[in-house]
Amino acid sequence: MKKMRRADRIMTDAEALMLLEKGEYGVLSTVDREGQPYGTPVSYVYSGSSIYFHAALTGTKLDNIEANPKVCFTVVGSTKVLPSEFATEYESVMAFGRASIAEEDEKRMALAEIVKKYSPDFILEGDAYILANLKNCVVVKVAVEEFSGKHRV
């Protein structure tokens, strides 16, 4: 990974992982066969050193992952514009890894974790929803190989 230019803004690994775990959404960046970048905002969960999100059975991001599984995943946490300083307080983390389609057991686990993160008061309903819709989606797993976080507080 390239060295960060603003070393004074580097997050500790623990801080970066905390943001990766608590982030509300992330942007998956892929590249198609012709080299065209493609960024997709997704709801996700971070579990066991991997990022998981669900997707339709077909689509551009899946085509791109099939062509090139190397991806970047970016999460932006809290921000605050500081108008009088011409600056912004922020926190962000970038994770790099390889994407693949999760197999059945891992797919169910990831979907259950997504329900737990986004709908914690509806676990039973979420479990029923997962069972009813399991065949209608895929779960993408990004095995994180490297990550770094940056903040200005």
Q: What's the pLDDT tens digit per position in 37-58?
A: 999 999 999 999 999 999 999 9
Note whether residue 42 is domain-resident: yes
pLDDT, average across residues 14-25 = 96
What is the rounded CA–CA span in Å between residue 75 and residue 35? 23
pLDDT, average across residues 77-81 = 94
Residue 119 domain boundaries: 7-152
Any idea what the Cα angle at residue 51 is, between residues 17 and 29, rounded to 5°? 100
Note whether residue 59 is domain-resident: yes
Q: Domain containing 62 — which CATH number?
A: 2.30.110.10
Q: How confident is the model at residue 6 (pLDDT cuts 50, 70, 90)?
A: confident
Note whether residue 61 is domain-resident: yes
Note whether residue 26 is domain-resident: yes
Residue 130 pLDDT: 95
Q: State how many domains the chain has.
A: 1
Note whether residue 1 is domain-resident: no
Query: Mean pLDDT score of the chain, rounded to an integer?
Result: 95
- Give the type of residue at 50: S
pLDDT, average across residues 84-96 = 95
pLDDT, average across residues 66-81 = 96
Q: Is the pLDDT of residue 4 over 70?
A: no
Nearest to 19 by CA among 70, 77, 63, 73: 77
Note whether residue 44 is domain-resident: yes
Strand order in the sheet with 45-47: 37-42, 26-31, 70-82, 87-101, 138-152, 50-55, 45-47
Note whether residue 2 is domain-resident: no
Note whether residue 57 is domain-resident: yes
